[in-house]
């Protein structure tokens, strides 16, 4: 009998192309992936992989088995969801992936609510960039994850995943008070209309400033670069930082300007000026399509939605004088 867990690794290899990429998605070592695939070949009794340069590629039999794996995994997950729904209470391990600002602002309340309502559900949180979350979900490393969609960085549809909208945030240009100059006159590029100048003014003013951006390979990095390119320039990057608290501290110290979403403003330091830019960040709750009926997925999504609504209500209650008041415009999508 073929081991379905090893079959999933073969499916991921067919999708991602390299053993290293599979290992990264699985949060394990390439050697562990290679060992499991070798064991699958022994179980199958036919060659599934062959060497190709420094990597491997699937044989015809391997590609065929990888294609047949997706519906097998979906059926097993649907069966597991049906069994879970028949039990009197939720129990077992449930793995949640979330980006840093959500871990700090939204997840604590959701975890408390889930723990109180389902005490036998063992909740495990992994902090990771939303760019990694889809692979982690497909690999079965996570059961649910918070992912992003940015203007200028459209998400590729994935038929194996489903997503529920959670909230929208405005993106702000953060700069040290008094650091920004006057709007420069664009040269060497098509003339901008008065409307375009008004919309892009914050970015155009900051085009000569040094920039603080997230690490390459993250969605935040790609969004910052593309937004600046949309305004007609490439950012002059001085610092890379993924922690928005560190980013805002660097901004306050006059080390550059940065793009930050509303959830990142919970601990905004003094001396940081915020100006909205023409871009939004949308956060979604993602999970495998075959697990959409699993009661733990439904319970977790409901708890996260409630936590997001409560967080927004708290920002509104604190009013415009609060250091977190810039977050009041986040639009929380109801269940």
Task: Return d(Cα 140, Cα 137) in angstroms, integer.
Answer: 5
194 pLDDT more than 60: no
What secondary structure does DSSP assign to 262-312, as a single string?
A: GGGGTTPPTTEEEEEEEEEEEEEEEEEGGGTT-HHHHHHHHHHHHHHHHHH
Collect all residues with Cβ–Cβ distance below 8 Å to 199 and sequence separation of at least 6: 278
Task: Return d(Cα 239, Cα 261) in angstroms, integer.
Answer: 18
Binned at pLDDT 50, 70 and 90, residue 26 comes out as: confident
Task: Return d(Cα 106, Cα 113) in angstroms, integer.
Answer: 12
Residue in 231, 226, 242 with CA at minimum distance from that of residue 208: 231
Q: C-alpha angle with apex 183: 268 to 328, nearest 5 degrees?
A: 30
Q: What is the pLDDT of residue 190?
A: 40
With contact defined as beta carbons under 8 Å apart, do 94 and 111 qualify?
A: no
Q: Where in the chain is the domain with CATH 1.10.10.10?
A: 4-83
For 225-245, what is the mean pLDDT? 92
271 dihedral zone (left: phi>0; alpha: psi -120 to 50; beta): left
The arrangement of secondary structure in 4-83, i.e. its CATH architecture, is Orthogonal Bundle (1.10)
Bridge pairing between strands 92-98 and 121-127: parallel
77 pLDDT more than 60: yes
Least trusted range by pLDDT, from 22-31, 36-45, 114-123: 22-31
Q: Where in the chain is the domain with CATH 3.40.190.290?
A: 90-335
332 pLDDT more than 70: no
With contact defined as beta carbons under 8 Å apart, do 6 and 37 qualify?
A: yes
Binned at pLDDT 50, 70 and 90, residue 186 comes out as: very low
Residue in 214, 281, 212 with CA at minimum distance from that of residue 242: 214
Phi then psi for residue 198, to 5 deg, are -65, -40
Domain 90-335 has CATH 3.40.190.290: yes
Collect all residues with Cβ–Cβ distance below 8 Å to 209 and sequence separation of at least 6: 175, 179, 180, 236, 256, 257
Q: Where are the alpha helices (DSSP H) in the chain?
A: 4-16, 19-26, 30-44, 60-86, 100-105, 107-117, 133-138, 194-205, 219-230, 244-252, 295-318
State pLDDT tens for residues 278-294.
889 999 999 999 999 99
Q: What's this model's pTM, rounded to 2 decimal places?
A: 0.78
Look at the chain and count its residues: 335
For 267-285, what is the mean pLDDT? 90
State pLDDT tens for residues 92-138.
999 999 999 999 999 999 999 999 999 999 999 999 988 889 989 98
Binned at pLDDT 50, 70 and 90, residue 327 comes out as: very low
């Amino acid at each position: 009998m073929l081991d379905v867990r090893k079959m999933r690794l073969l499916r991921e290899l067919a999708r991602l192309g390299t053993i290293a990429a599979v290992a990264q998605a699985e949060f394990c070592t390439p050697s562990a992936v290679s060992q499991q695939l070798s064991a699958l070949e022994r179980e199958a009794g036919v060659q599934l992989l062959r060497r190709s340069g420094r990597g491997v590629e699937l044989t015809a039999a391997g590609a065929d088995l990888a294609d047949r794996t997706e519906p097998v995994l979906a059926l097993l997950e649907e069966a597991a969801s049906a069994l879970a729904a028949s039990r009197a209470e939720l129990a077992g391990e449930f793995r949640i992936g979330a980006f840093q600002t959500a871990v700090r602002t939204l997840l604590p309340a959701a975890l408390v609510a889930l723990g109180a309502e389902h005490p036998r559900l063992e909740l495990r949180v992994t902090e990771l960039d939303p760019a990694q979350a889809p692979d982690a979900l497909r690999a079965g490393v996570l059961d649910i994850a918070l992912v992003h969609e940015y203007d200028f960085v459209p998400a590729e549809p994935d038929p194996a995943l489903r997503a529920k909208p959670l909230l929208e945030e405005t993106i702000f240009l953060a700069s040290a008070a008094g650091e920004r100059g006057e709007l420069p006159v664009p040269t060497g590029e098509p003339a901008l209309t008065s409307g375009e100048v008004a919309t892009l003014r914050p970015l155009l003013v900051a085009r000569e400033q040094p920039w603080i951006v997230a690490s390459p390979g993250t969605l935040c990095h790609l969004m910052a670069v593309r937004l600046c390119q949309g305004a007609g320039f490439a950012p002059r990057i001085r610092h890379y930082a993924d922690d928005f608290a560190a980013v805002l501290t660097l901004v306050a110290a006059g080390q550059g300007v940065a793009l930050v979403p509303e959830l990142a403003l919970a601990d905004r330091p003094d001396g940081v000026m915020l100006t909205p830019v023409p871009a939004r960040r949308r956060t979604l709750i993602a999970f495998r399509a075959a697990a959409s009926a699993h009661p733990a997925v439904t319970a977790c999504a409901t708890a996260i939605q409630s936590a997001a609504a409560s967080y927004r209500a708290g920002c509104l209650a604190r009013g415009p004088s609060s250091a977190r008041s810039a977050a009041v415009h986040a639009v929380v999508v109801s269940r």
